[in-house]
């Protein structure tokens, strides 16, 4: 029977004092906590399965509240996400929910989060994101970015930026979002990496590609985390490796 293997890991990194990242895989959520070891979950291929990460905006209050709210919303409505329109509407609803959760809570003013992920269907994948968390396709020809970074143009000589042009929440007054959603074909053996910028900022995509070519499931999740830590672990690190099995 075809199945989906999701291997997930979330870690504070070496600099931050707490974890503002969250993750969802089907009904399972991981919110602001640290996994001692990668966890692999198996799901039957067929019904919509949402896998996503959310990165609470650093420098703003209550980032972990925003990221947790979003992944819990996605976990609740995941089985109904069967089209690009449904995913886009869900992300817009999450944006409204983040702003609503800040009303009457001054400590949550301007809280916000990125989100990136995929909904695995029987024969296709709905890739989505708002912000700079990423979805990467681990193909035989190399790693291919299939999400769209919501970031301003990079300064000369810079590979990364901490600035983002849209997020779920993140402002004191409501701001609408335009989610990126696209459909990709799906077949047995396909692998995707869903991650926050705590992985992609310190570790180049060439390095990620090299690790994904050699390892799988729990081992590759560990090696990806290890690469981010060895590069200084400047931010929270959250990732999910999605593999389509036969």
pLDDT tens string 15-62 = 998 999 999 999 999 998 888 799 999 999 999 999 999 999 976 779
Predicted local confidence at residue 32, as pLDDT: 86
pLDDT tens string 153-186 = 766 666 667 789 999 999 999 999 999 999 999 9
What is the spatial distance between Cα 98 and Cα 108, in angstroms, rounded to a whole number? 10
Predicted local confidence at residue 93, as pLDDT: 98
Of the candidate CATH numbers 3.40.50.620, 3.40.190.150, 3.60.40.10, 2.115.10.20, the domain formed by 3-150+160-245 belongs to 3.60.40.10
Give the model's confidence band at 219: pLDDT under 50 very low, under 70 low, under 90 confident, else very high.
Answer: very high
C-alpha dihedral sign at 163, 133, 127, 193: positive
Cβ 130 vs Cβ 177: under 8 Å: yes
Containing H/E element for 217? helix 217-230
What is the number of helices (H) and of strands (E) in the chain?
A: 5, 14
Which neighbouring-strand residues pair with 118? 51, 127
Among the ranges given (2-6, 80-84, 150-154, 198-202), the one the predictor scored with the smallest mean pLDDT? 150-154
Q: pTM for this one?
A: 0.95
Contacts of 244 (CB under 8 A, 6+ apart): 2, 3, 4, 45, 120, 186, 187, 188, 189, 190, 191
pLDDT tens string 79-130 = 999 999 999 999 999 999 999 999 999 999 999 999 999 999 999 999 999 9
- DSSP strands (E only) in the chain: 3-11, 21-25, 28-31, 39-44, 49-55, 112-113, 115-120, 124-130, 134-139, 142-145, 168-169, 180-185, 191-195, 237-245
Where do the domains of the chain lie? Answer: 3-150+160-245
Q: How many Cβ atoms from other residues are within 10 Å of residue 3's Cβ?
A: 14
């Amino acid at each position: 029977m075809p199945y989906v293997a999701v291997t997930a890991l979330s870690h504070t990194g070496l600099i931050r004092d707490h974890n503002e990242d969250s993750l969802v895989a089907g009904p399972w959520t991981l919110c602001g906590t640290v996994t001692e070891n990668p966890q692999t979950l198996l799901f039957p291929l067929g019904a919509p399965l949402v896998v996503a990460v959310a990165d609470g905006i650093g420098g703003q209050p209550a980032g972990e509240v925003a990221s947790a709210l979003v992944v819990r919303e996605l976990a609740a409505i995941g089985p109904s996400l069967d089209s690009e329109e449904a995913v886009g509407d869900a992300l817009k609803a999450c944006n409204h929910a983040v702003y609503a959760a800040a009303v009457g809570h001054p400590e949550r003013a301007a809280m916000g989060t990125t989100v990136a992920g995929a909904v695995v269907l029987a024969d296709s994948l709905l890739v989505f994101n708002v912000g700079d968390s990423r979805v990467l396709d681990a193909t035989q020809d190399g790693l291919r970015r299939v999400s769209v970074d919501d970031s301003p143009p990079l300064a000369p000589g810079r590979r990364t930026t901490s600035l983002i042009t849209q997020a779920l929440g993140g402002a004191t007054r409501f701001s609408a979002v335009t989610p990126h959603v696209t459909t990709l074909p799906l077949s047995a053996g396909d692998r995707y990496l869903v991650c926050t910028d705590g992985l992609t900022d310190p570790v180049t995509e060439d390095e990620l590609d090299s690790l994904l070519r050699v390892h799988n499931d729990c081992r590759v999740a560990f090696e990806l985390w290890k690469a981010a830590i060895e590069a200084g672990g400047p931010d929270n690190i959250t990732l999910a490796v999605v593999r389509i099995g036969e």
